[in-house]
Structure 1
Amino acid sequence: MPDDQEESHAVPDPIYRIEKLIHRYNGQPVLEIDRLTVAPSSILGLVGPNGSGKSTLLKLMAFIFQPTEGRILFKGEQAFPFDEAIRSQVTLLTQEPYLMKRTVFNNVAYGLKVRGERGDWRQPAHDALNLVGLDAETFSRRQWDELSGGEAQRVALAARLVLKPLVLLLDEPTASVDAASSELIRSASLRARSEWGTTLVIASHDRQWLHDVCDEVIHLFKGKLAGSGRSNMIFGPWAREDDEVYGKRLDDDQRLLVSVPPSADATAFLDPGDIRILGERETVDNSTTKVVQGTVIRLALEKRSGNLFADVRIGSLILVVRVAESRLATMTLHRGWPVSLAYRPANIRWR
């Protein structure tokens, strides 16, 4: 290549390519994804309410079963359930850990046995246990039923990490464990990416953690993709306030007014950038803009974009607000401070 010719860097092919996927249970569609790609060694987050299709998507990506329609390409090739060439490369950790009725060591080493690994399994099994914060000498001989919930989930994760998988799929990995186990599970999962280049796909209700660690976070709602990044999803029911004005009464007796919903139980989506924290003496046009009062409960700086986000509690509702850089020079925000939020009902999207 000539010295003055700029070297080109090819974009790696996706490790997953999902095309025109529809999956049905009892004839009813529960998941519909026209197109989704996942880059190798990336971290993809999945958020959405219960029943949105997150667990179904993870099981399909783990090739536990076949989609009703469409296809899932893995490293450019169409893959099928329980394909021997894939089983050792892709592994799924479910929310409820499944351990076999045997010792911790035998649970962790079982995957090596199935894969046909020869030699001494003791060191890799002990390394995997230590990775999830369980002392191998202490836990290896314990039986499966002698573990707490958090310990069982970490043993289940160790049984997957011992394989150094190409893809690690995590379904609510920290939802049912104590805070210490939760942090150890998170740390061990991220080390898989940093040390082995593992691709992670994580479904979790812990949105802040996902936004802190993921390269991309996508939203699933009623089995369909509903955008990416940070968003506010506000559930009905909605009641008519007066002509062309609808809303819902919040726990603190405020009213959240919205544009006309397509149905009483529709879900409203409001972009964090469409909400503004008002200055102390700032006023708004009440005909187009509504104001609610809340309390700042969290401030987070997004590393990739440099944007500052504020989580504001209004009754039992939490709204995420993107704080414009231009406003940071004119206001000071702290956790626990009361704020006024302005938004335009016309900016609400409905599903």
Structure 2
Amino acid sequence: MSSASAPSAASAPPGDAAPIVSIRGLAKTYAGGFQALKRVDLDIRRGEIFALLGPNGAGKTTLISIVCGIVNPSEGTVLADGHDIVRDYRAARATIGLVPQELHTDAFETVWDTVKFSRGLFGKAPDAAYLERVLRELSLWDKRGEKIMALSGGMKRRVLIAKALSHEPSILFLDEPTAGVDVELRREMWAMVSRLRASGVTIILTTHYIDEAEEMADRVGVINRGEIVLVEEKRALMRKLGKKQLTLQLQAPLAALPPSLAEPALALSADGGELTYTFDAQSEETGIAALLRRLGEHGIDFKDLHTTQSSLEEIFVNLVKSPSAQGASRGDAAEGAA
């Protein structure tokens, strides 16, 4: 667990890096016929932070549970650091750490004993110095002798992370890791994620806090109704699918836009003092230049301007708000079972 400073998304591994997780044709049908995953293909690059986003019931937890060996796939293959998760289960599982959504752990064990036991489960030799480092990183060192049942919810969440890291995995899955935790713990956890990534650990996270994905992730995958909708570099995704809005404060109020300027992308404020222009992020230069030229031709002057851009959350909502996405909630029960 390196103390190196957090890297930016700009320092992501090159696109041709060998994937550390390779998923091909992965499908899962639960009893009763519900198809949680529909032939998913996905590669996770070594050393990246990959955010998997999707509405409730979309298939996120099922996908993670299959990769981690908790749920059996109906079809398809998964390789974890080169090991088939079915044929070479022990080796594959040893490369993976999982922080689940639910706070399930050994209530009557001490923090130290449960983390030490987790390391031993994977056949790792005892390493008290490493475990101490993990507990100190998570502000758990002073709690090492306490029973888990006596800890707060936030501290129990930290214990789950310590258990997931106890055997020094190269792949770490974080399934809604900050759900229900306070702001301070969220900040500490994401600082730790940045340090892990800097030390070479590959991070795959699901989160409902899309601002975290926007800040932390190198790439974003969106899953909906068991299918991967897209996988894209985060910055490229925001450039390609994001909208920008230019707001102009006019020198003099307008009663109405000239007919030749009337179009859906242009809107005049109620008092006529502001003009807003919505355009694709990809067409920023030509869009703004063309608009300002047209305004000048009509003698419309402005005294100030500023732009805003769509957030990742707005892009995500637009991707999954199609009518077919409404049926995704049917998967909630199966997702919870996973």
Which of 157, 167, 180 aligns to 2:161? It is 157
Deviation at 1:145, TM superposition (A): 0.8
What corresponds to 1:124 in structure 2?
130
Q: Secondary structure at the match of 1:163?
A: coil
AA partner of residue 242 (structure 2) = G
What corresponds to 2:242 in structure 1?
273
Which of 222, 226, 232 aligns to 1:223? It is 226
Q: Deviations over 1:165-220 (max 9, x none)?
A: 1100010000111111111111222222212x111100001112112221101111
What corresponds to 1:16 in structure 2?
21
What corresponds to 2:183 in structure 1?
179
- Residues 126, 272 of structure 1: alpha-carbon distance in 2 compared, 3 angstrom cutoff: same
Q: Conserved in 1, the CA contact under 8 Å of 2:37 and 2:227?
A: yes
2: CA distance between counterparts of 1:38 and 1:58? 12
Deviation at 1:11, TM superposition (A): 3.7
RMSD: 3.5
Q: Deviations over 1:22-61 (max 9, x none)?
A: 1111221111244211111111101111111111111112
Does residue 331 of structure 1 match 2:313?
no
AA partner of residue 74 (structure 1) = A
AA partner of residue 155 (structure 2) = E
1: CA distance between counterparts of 2:224 and 2:55? 7
Q: Conserved in 2, the CA contact under 8 Å of 1:63 and 1:81?
A: no
2: CA distance between counterparts of 1:59 and 1:21? 12
Deviation at 1:228, TM superposition (A): 3.9
- Residues 81, 209 of structure 1: alpha-carbon distance in 2 compared, 3 angstrom cutoff: farther
2: CA distance between counterparts of 1:18 and 1:92? 17
- Residues 24, 201 of structure 1: alpha-carbon distance in 2 compared, 3 angstrom cutoff: same
TM-score, structure 1 as length reference:
0.65
What corresponds to 2:52 in structure 1?
46
What corresponds to 1:108 in structure 2?
115
What corresponds to 2:38 in structure 1?
32
Task: Write the mapping of 1:200-239 to structure 2, written as runs, cut at 5 A.
Answer: 200-228=203-231
AA partner of residue 212 (structure 2) = W
What corresponds to 1:146 in structure 2?
150
Q: Deviations over 1:73-125 (max 9, x none)?
A: 23344321881112221121111222213001011111222123334x43222
Q: Conserved in 2, the CA contact under 8 Å of 1:47 and 1:203?
A: yes
Deviation at 1:150, TM superposition (A): 0.7
Q: Secondary structure at the match of 1:41?
A: coil
2: CA distance between counterparts of 1:171 and 1:71? 21
AA partner of residue 71 (structure 2) = F
1: CA distance between counterparts of 2:170 and 2:143? 26
Which of 98, 103, 108 aligns to 2:104? It is 98
Q: Deviations over 1:277-309 (max 9, x none)?
A: 4434596645x558699xxxxxxxxxxxxxxxx
Does residue 61 of structure 1 match 2:67?
yes
AA partner of residue 13 (structure 1) = A
Q: Secondary structure at the match of 1:279?
A: strand
Higher helix proportion: 2
- Residues 10, 174 of structure 1: alpha-carbon distance in 2 compared, 3 angstrom cutoff: closer
- Residues 108, 292 of structure 1: alpha-carbon distance in 2 compared, 3 angstrom cutoff: farther
- Show structure 1 runs of 5+ residues with no match: 1-8, 232-270, 294-320, 336-344
Q: Conserved in 1, the CA contact under 8 Å of 2:247 and 2:306?
A: no
Q: Secondary structure at the match of 2:98?
A: strand
2: CA distance between counterparts of 1:334 and 1:221? 28
- Number of aligned pairs? 263
- Residues 322, 176 of structure 1: alpha-carbon distance in 2 compared, 3 angstrom cutoff: farther
TM-score, structure 2 as length reference:
0.68
Higher strand proportion: 1
- Residues 349, 72 of structure 1: alpha-carbon distance in 2 compared, 3 angstrom cutoff: same
- Residues 175, 291 of structure 1: alpha-carbon distance in 2 compared, 3 angstrom cutoff: farther
- Show structure 2 runs of 5+ residues with no match: 1-13, 270-279, 293-303, 310-317, 325-338
Q: Conserved in 2, the CA contact under 8 Å of 1:104 and 1:142?
A: yes
